[in-house]
Every structure is written in structure tokens, then in C-alpha cells.
Amino acid sequence: MKVYGAVVDNETRCTHYHTEKDIIAIKFKCCNHYYPCYKCHEEDADHKIERWQKEQFDELAILCGSCQKELTILAYMHTASCPHCQATFNERCSAHYPIYFE
């Protein structure tokens, strides 16, 4: 899976967010490309972010950087770790949900 933006390692960490738990990438609805964060999208894309609507939360749009498996938005929002490999996600990412999700 190709991840765009300022990616710094193979677990999708970027120059903006690179703690041990920063291991997800988000598929942006507006361009169908995975980015580690909204800052990477803003720097790389030539368009504004389009948020996922609630009725689309069953879409596979989250990539676990640890195991490279995709999760639905809803599954991601209701877990603290990857259901496939149990890698822990950064709980502070929820502060950015309004940027990505309705």
C-alpha cells in the first residue's frame, strides 16, 4: 500500500508525528490516497481535505503501519490497538477526528 507525504519509516510515521504509537495512515476521501496525517496531506496535495461522512464509516480507510492491514473507520474509532496484530495506536489521534471524519 503506497503512503504519500513526509513518511519517515515503513510503519507510516511521518515528520510531523513519529512516536512509537504513530503507526496509522488515513485514506483521504478527497483523493483516495493514504497519508500519515493531515499535515502531510496539506503539504503534498493540491486540494482541500474532504471528510468522511458517518454513513461511510464502514469503509476501509485506516492502514495499520505495523501489519499493513486495513481497518474500517468505525473499527479504528472503537479500538486502542490493531485487531490484526495488536499494535497500540496513539490515543491522542482522536483529537484530530474532526479533521478527517464527520
Q: Which amino acid is at 12?
A: T
Q: Is residue 14 classed as helix, strand or coil in its secondary structure?
A: strand
Check residue 94 and give its pLDDT.
96
Check residue 102 and give its pLDDT.
96
Query: Taking Cα atoms as reference points, which of 77, 3, 11 lies closest to residue 34?
Result: 3
Domain count, the chain: 1
Q: Per the domain annotation, does 11 fall within a domain?
A: no
Check residue 26 and give its pLDDT.
98
Q: Per the domain annotation, does 80 fall within a domain?
A: yes
Q: Per the domain annotation, does 3 fall within a domain?
A: no
Q: Per the domain annotation, does 12 fall within a domain?
A: no
Q: Per the domain annotation, does 36 fall within a domain?
A: yes
Structural domain span for residue 88: 24-100
What string of pLDDT tens digits covers the 102 residues of the chain?
Answer: 899 999 999 999 999 999 999 999 999 999 999 999 999 999 999 999 999 999 999 999 999 999 999 999 999 999 999 999 999 999 999 999 999 999
Spatial distance between the Cα atoms of 91 and 31, rounded to a whole number of angstroms: 25
Check residue 77 and give its pLDDT.
97
